């Protein structure tokens, strides 16, 4: 079952069980997925749908920060409640140790083919690390991956 179908199915279940907050979030998710599908003019793959949901989580985190600054805790709490619902449809998030292990593994692989990568090779290392994450099915925050790659390359 595709991610879009799962959201639709859970939306119907939330309607039947009268879970207003969950239903509201699921409707928002379905709308975002449908808009992306319309923009693409083709059905979304699960990876593309996942990217839409990751973007939604980032937007919620930014909104929480802004609402907190604006002293609107009611709105910040609403956004915070939506994040776990959206994240439940995403693949498992990698821990910092998992990320560090993959970064070190990629650098070791690149070192076997010749010279050890330096800070100048950050782009190629990041590309290889992101490909490795996609292959494993884990998801990782790009900012955190970038920081760990930078630290690993700096120590070489």
pLDDT tens profile 44-89? 888 889 889 989 999 999 999 999 999 999 999 999 999 999 999 9
* Side-chain-side CA neighbours of residue 49 (13 Å): 22
Burial environment of residue 98 by CB neighbours within 10 A (0 to 12, 13 to 18, 19 or more) = middle
- Calculate what percentage of the chain has a pLDDT beyond 70: 99
Q: Which residues, at least 6 apart from 37, have a Cβ–Cβ distance to it below 8 Å?
A: 4, 43, 44
| Higher local confidence (pLDDT), 35 or 134 | 35
Domains and CATH numbers, the chain: 3-87 (1.10.1510.10), 96-154 (1.10.10)
Q: How many angstroms separate the CA atoms of 22 and 82, rounded?
A: 8
In SS3 terms, 56-72 reads as HHHHHHHHHHHHHHCCC
pTM: 0.72
Q: What is the per-residue pLDDT across 102-147, written as a single tens digit (0 to 9) for each?
A: 888 888 888 887 778 888 888 888 888 888 887 777 788 888 888 8
The average pLDDT across 29-55 equals 92
- Min mean pLDDT across 24-28, 31-35, 144-148 is at 144-148
139 backbone dihedrals φ, ψ, rounded to 5° = -120, 150
Which tokens in the block code for residue 52? 């839409």
Judge whether 139 and 94 are in contact, CB under 8 Å.
Answer: yes
Would you say residue 156 has pLDDT above 70?
A: no
Size of the chain, expressed as the number of residues it contains = 156
């Amino acid at each position: 079952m595709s991610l879009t179908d799962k959201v639709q199915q859970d939306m119907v279940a939330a309607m039947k069980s009268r879970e207003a907050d969950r239903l509201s979030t699921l409707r928002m998710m379905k709308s975002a997925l449908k808009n992306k599908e319309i923009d693409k003019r083709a059905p979304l793959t699960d990876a593309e749908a996942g990217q839409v949901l990751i973007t939604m989580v980032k937007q919620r985190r930014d909104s929480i920060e802004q609402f907190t600054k604006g002293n609107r805790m009611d709105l910040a709490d609403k956004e915070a409640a939506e994040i776990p619902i959206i994240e439940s449809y995403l693949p498992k998030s990698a821990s910092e140790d998992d990320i560090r292990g993959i970064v070190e593994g990629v650098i070791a692989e690149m070192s076997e083919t010749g010279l050890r990568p330096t800070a100048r090779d950050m782009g190629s290392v990041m590309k290889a690390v992101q490909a490795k994450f996609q292959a494993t099915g884990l998801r990782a925050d790009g900012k955190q991956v970038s920081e760990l790659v930078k630290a690993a390359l700096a120590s070489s």
